[in-house]
Amino acid sequence: MTAINSVTDLTVEDGIGVLTLNSPPVNALSANVRDGIFEGIKQAQADDAVKAIVLICDGRTFIAGADISEFGGAQKGASLFEAQEMMENSVKPVIAAIHGTALGGGLEVALVANYRVAVPSAKCGLPEVALGLLPGAGGTQRLPRIVGAEKALEMMTSGAHVPAKQCLEMGLVDELVEEGKLREGAIAFARKVLAENRPLKKVRDLQDKMDAARGHPEIFADFRKANARKFRGFLAPESNIKCIEAAVNLPFDEGMAVERKLFMELMTGVQSAAQRYVFFAERQVWKVPDVPEDTAILPINKVGIIGAGTMGGGIAMNFANVGIPVKIVEMKQDALDRGLGVIRKNYENTAKRGRLTDAQVEERTALLTGSLSLEDLADCDLIIEAVFENMDVKKDIFGKLDKIAKPGAILATNTSALNIDEIATATTRPEAVIGLHFFSPANVMRLLEVVRADKTSKEVIATSMKLAKKIGKIAALVGVCPGFVGNRMLFQRQNQANALVFEGAMPWDVDRVLFDFGFPMGPFAMSDLAGLDIGYRKEDYEGETAKRPKQVRDELVELERRGQKTGAGYYDYDENRVAKPSAITEKIIKDYAAKSGANQRDISDEEILERTIFPMINEGAKILEEGKAIRASDIDIVWINGYGWPVYRGGPMFYGDTVGLKKVVERLEHYEKQMGDFFKPSALLKKLAEEGKGFKDLK
């Protein structure tokens, strides 16, 4: 064995040179790996004992792409292009041997080999689009030459990790070899190439599929049209499409020039910076500084859920989906039957769309059992309370659970607003109490706020985070405060959305500005979707129990404008649920403002954006000051995964840094002067702004 460098070695086995890369965790194309490929292939070619070369990786995966953490830094060692050229121009056949994932630059390396073999569990993909990029090492020109324009469009704009069997069918992989025997299989394949005297096939020379697509611009027009909604706001999908068009219409080298130009545009742009930041934020969020990786994890083999409503049912599905039995407790048989019925319907609907088999529907529903007695939760390892938001009711339940639950069980609440420290006082084991704040629909939404109370134990935190990962959520650990992280910041936005309407903007103006910013919908459209009567109580604003004045929303509900479900809310809806601005709503707002003495005026889009978004950034800073979130990027994860914040803007804290905290503070102070304390910048925000820093500089 010859060591090429610290991460690469070359062994020669009976005529086959095996070049092995070993750069944990994912063999990303750092300088050492690029050098290793360049030098290794060069040496293998110079070695007369080597007749063919196998490129293989140690560890969990083939090359998972360029080293994202190196982006933007000075280039050291061989460039990726130099390493690729060395492979593509090799005078001896090169075979890439793939296990784990060949992604991005990793697949682009495999694409300059003459042949590719893979184990059945391997996957290949060009996921650059998810980083706001396009494959910048020839992937946009080589992939379509193998799989054709249509499949390349799908793969590159979705970033999908395509299973090896499908890769074989598409010709992306030449042969599958036995699982666990990649090295032997790849060597045997190399021998076959030599024995059969197969040509030194170069993907760049394949032209048939490009010729077939040329003269069919409708392939691209149709694809753009079909995906317009999905791609809205993102720059990278369109650039990926343009590169595939170039592959079809231009000679290889000219296509490469188009790829380079568009890659550099994306790479230096703010969207890709945001999406790369989110990539690392999603991995960072799992790390809890004071809860070490080796903290004991409690076994969770059975889950109990209290409440079979929409929330309880959705939560239950998460566990059944991964094979964990769930017992659901309700107070009344009909509510229990209804809840279990809704879950079954949900599964059946998924099966109808082909995403579950009938057998899976049966397996999952069989894991769910109902009960009318809390005592039946005695053998559960985790119990999640998901009843309505009332402190007395919750404390009563936790007091009872304390007596019923087995020692070591985790007692969780799904509250979105109540003080979990107070709930924990109802038990004699506050260390077992934690918040698991799921977002509706709980079986769909990716976010889970794991809420740590004062006395929650490290084991309970570590177990909750691990379990979140198991059920496919992305979990952010947050502290107890009103609304926790997500809703606390939402209150700020909602406050200003309502204020703006009071001052002269219409709901559709506010919604349009936030939609154009990149949210899937604005706050008023969202209210119409959820139902304006959620939490509505006439006694809150009328009679002796009144605790606030009557608002626009109350008037709308009184007129039976309860949102989409009644065909009208803030908006009017046609039979296809298409929203139109409503003259009735406008009149209610104008009358309300006149009665309250509001001086309505024209409000610019810029003001709408600043007044809805900047107070959120300010609140995020307060959350950090108070230690209710571990890092600014955790807050961004909450907003991207729980509230539809556009990922290409990186989350509210990243956006604050993009705008510049100096400007954010200036604008907040401007509004503070006009409208008071609501806009007062937090001490942390002011300090960072004064020092010319951003949230990214916080340690």
Residue ranges that bind ligand 3H9, judged by CB under 6 A = 25-26, 28, 61, 64-69, 80, 101, 103-105, 108, 127-128, 131, 133, 135-137, 139, 280, 283
Look up residue 102 and give its two tokens.
Answer: 């060949």
CA atoms within 13 A on the CB side of 639: 31
3-state helix, strand, coil in the chain (%, to 5): 50, 15, 35
- In the complex, minimum distance from the CB of residue 128 to ligand 3H9, in angstroms, rounded to a whole number: 5
- In the complex, minimum distance from the CB of residue 140 to ligand 3H9, in angstroms, rounded to a whole number: 9
Look up residue 480 and give its two tokens.
Answer: 């107890």
Q: Which is nearer to ligand 3H9, 103 or 303 (CB)?
A: 103
- In the complex, minimum distance from the CB of residue 278 to ligand 3H9, in angstroms, rounded to a whole number: 12
Look up residue 323 and give its two tokens.
Answer: 């094979």
- Residue tagged active-site, from 39, 88, 108, 610: 108
- In the complex, minimum distance from the CB of residue 318 to ligand 3H9, in angstroms, rounded to a whole number: 19
Q: What is the Cα–Cα distance from 436 to 382, expressed in whole angstroms? A: 11
Give the containing element (helix H, strand E) for 440: none
Comparing C-alpha atoms, which of 421, 487, 468, 477 is closest to residue 449? 477
Beta bridge partners of 5: 8
Give the pairing type, strands 101-103 and 123-125. Answer: parallel
Q: What is the Cα–Cα distance from 319 to 251, expressed in whole angstroms? A: 52
Q: What is the Cα–Cα distance from 166 to 147, expressed in whole angstroms? A: 11
Q: Are the beta carbons of 566 and 558 closer than 8 angstroms?
A: no
Diameter of the chain measured on Cα atoms: 96
**In whole angstroms, what separates CA 293 from the centre of its chain?**
23
Q: What single-letter amino acid sits at 327?
A: K
- Give the full edge-to-edge strand order of the sheet including 447-452: 368-371, 326-329, 303-306, 382-385, 410-413, 433-438, 447-452, 474-479
- Residue tagged active-site, from 128, 330, 610, 619: 128
Q: Which is nearer to ligand 3H9, 509 or 634 (CB)?
A: 634
Beta bridge partners of 477: 450
Q: What is the Cα–Cα distance from 183 to 178, expressed in whole angstroms? A: 10
Q: Which is nearer to ligand 3H9, 198 or 260 (CB)?
A: 260
In terms of C-beta distances under 8 Å and separation of at least 24 residues, what long-range contacts does 677-681 make, across chains too? 678/495, 678/615, 679/614, 679/615, 679/618, 681/618, 681/621
The number of residues making up the chain comes to: 699
- In the complex, minimum distance from the CB of residue 95 to ligand 3H9, in angstroms, rounded to a whole number: 21
Residue 108 annotated to the active site? yes
Q: Across 401-544, where does the E strand assignment appear?
A: 410-413, 433-438, 447-452, 474-479
Q: Which is nearer to ligand 3H9, 67 or 381 (CB)?
A: 67
Q: Are the beta carbons of 128 and 134 closer than 8 angstroms?
A: yes
Q: What is the Cα–Cα distance from 618 to 626, expressed in whole angstroms? A: 13
- In the complex, minimum distance from the CB of residue 559 to ligand 3H9, in angstroms, rounded to a whole number: 50
Q: What single-letter amino acid sits at 17?
A: G
Give the pairing type, strands 162-163 and 123-125. Answer: antiparallel
- In the complex, minimum distance from the CB of residue 32 to ligand 3H9, in angstroms, rounded to a whole number: 13
Q: Which is nearer to ligand 3H9, 144 or 313 (CB)?
A: 144
DSSP per residue over 250-312, as a string? S-HHHHHHHHHHHHHHHHTSHHHHHHHHHHHHHHHTT--TTS-TT--------EEEE--SHHH
Q: What is the Cα–Cα distance from 268 to 270, expressed in whole angstroms? A: 7
Give the containing element (helix H, strand E) for 175: strand 175-176
Q: What is the Cα–Cα distance from 197 to 226, expressed in whole angstroms? A: 45
Residue 422 annotated to the active site? no
> What sign has the CA pseudo-torsion 653, 526, 271, 145?
positive
- In the complex, minimum distance from the CB of residue 185 to ligand 3H9, in angstroms, rounded to a whole number: 22
Q: Which is nearer to ligand 3H9, 61 or 492 (CB)?
A: 61
Q: Which is nearer to ligand 3H9, 163 or 399 (CB)?
A: 163
Q: Is 476 helix (H, G, I), strand (E, B) or coil?
A: strand
- In the complex, minimum distance from the CB of residue 295 to ligand 3H9, in angstroms, rounded to a whole number: 17
- Give the full edge-to-edge strand order of the sheet including 123-125: 101-103, 123-125, 162-163
CA atoms within 13 A on the CB side of 243: 36
- In the complex, minimum distance from the CB of residue 143 to ligand 3H9, in angstroms, rounded to a whole number: 11
Q: Which is nearer to ligand 3H9, 31 or 194 (CB)?
A: 31
Eight-class DSSP state of 377: G
- In the complex, minimum distance from the CB of residue 481 to ligand 3H9, in angstroms, rounded to a whole number: 28
- In the complex, minimum distance from the CB of residue 624 to ligand 3H9, in angstroms, rounded to a whole number: 21
Q: Which is nearer to ligand 3H9, 65 or 430 (CB)?
A: 65
Q: Which is nearer to ligand 3H9, 111 or 329 (CB)?
A: 111
Q: Which is nearer to ligand 3H9, 25 or 289 (CB)?
A: 25
Q: What is the Cα–Cα distance from 684 to 484, expressed in whole angstroms? A: 19
- Helices (H) then strands (E): counts for the chain: 28, 20
Q: Which is nearer to ligand 3H9, 68 or 445 (CB)?
A: 68
**Active-site residue list:** 108, 128
